[in-house]
Amino acid sequence: MTRVRLSSSLLLLVAASLMLIEGCGHKRPPASATGAGTYPRASSPGSGAEPLDSGPDVRPLDSDLTSGEDITFSDASGEGGPLADVYFEYDQSALTDAARATLAQHATWIKAHGGAKLSVEGHCDERGTVEYNLALGDQRAQAARDYLVSLGVTRERLNAISLGKERPVDASHTEAAWARNRRAHFRVSR
């Protein structure tokens, strides 16, 4: 219980009346405090680079590139890019057969585009907590990245990061939406 030691009857009444007093005339009691607070100013943003949309300088493509395809960029939803999302089972970071098949295709594309660096993002659906989903997303990103490396992609070209449940593609609360959100997503930069 609260230990309110103000009086024996422990009853409190607030602000019985307020009166305006123009100018002076009342006795100043001891102790005064500044009422105005100081407010935190907005911090100036760090001068960090935009997230991966502008990357390192363009390097010459590998000389064994035969197809001459342009490097395209995948946008936030994963559409229009060369590398489709791969999906995971609920609460799992293990790769399904379908995921492996897709990743094998990605490995081919990546090796054919020697100048490309990628981030591999691990995502979760909304049914876990904020922090543990960041850990699960990391497991998913690493699983996808490690598999690509096992297929011959140079590890330094892949940056595995977790987005947890912070950037779903589908914010609805359905099984279908959750399944779409449990994914590894690929962003390509030059």
CA distance 34 to 37: 8
Q: How far apart are CB 116 and other proteins at their closest, in Å? A: 15
Q: Which of 99, 125, 153, 162 binds other proteins (CB under 8 A)?
A: 162
Q: Which of 72, 76, 98, 150 binds other proteins (CB under 8 A)?
A: 76
CA distance 32 to 128: 50
Hey, which bits of 83-157 come out as E strands? 86-87, 117-123
152: left (phi over 0), alpha (psi -120 to 50) or beta: left
Q: Which of 20, 68, 80, 176 binds other proteins (CB under 8 A)?
A: 20
User: What is the enclosing helix (H) or strand (E) of 158?
Assistant: strand 158-164
Would you say 112 or 157 has its CB closer to other proteins? 157
Other CB atoms within a 10 A radius of the CB of residue 122 amount to 28
Q: How far apart are CB 71 and other proteins at their closest, in Å? A: 18
Residue 17: exposed, middle, or buried by beta-carbon count in 10 A (0-12, 13-18, 19+)? exposed
Number of residues that bind other proteins (CB under 8 A): 65
Q: Determine the interface stretch with other proteins among 78-86, 106-114, 123-131, 175-183 (rule: CB under 8 A).
A: 123-131
Binding flag, residue 57, other proteins (CB under 8 A): no
Q: Site residues (CB under 8 A) for other proteins?
A: 2-23, 26, 28-46, 48-49, 51-52, 76, 119, 128-132, 134-136, 138-139, 142, 159, 161-163, 166-167
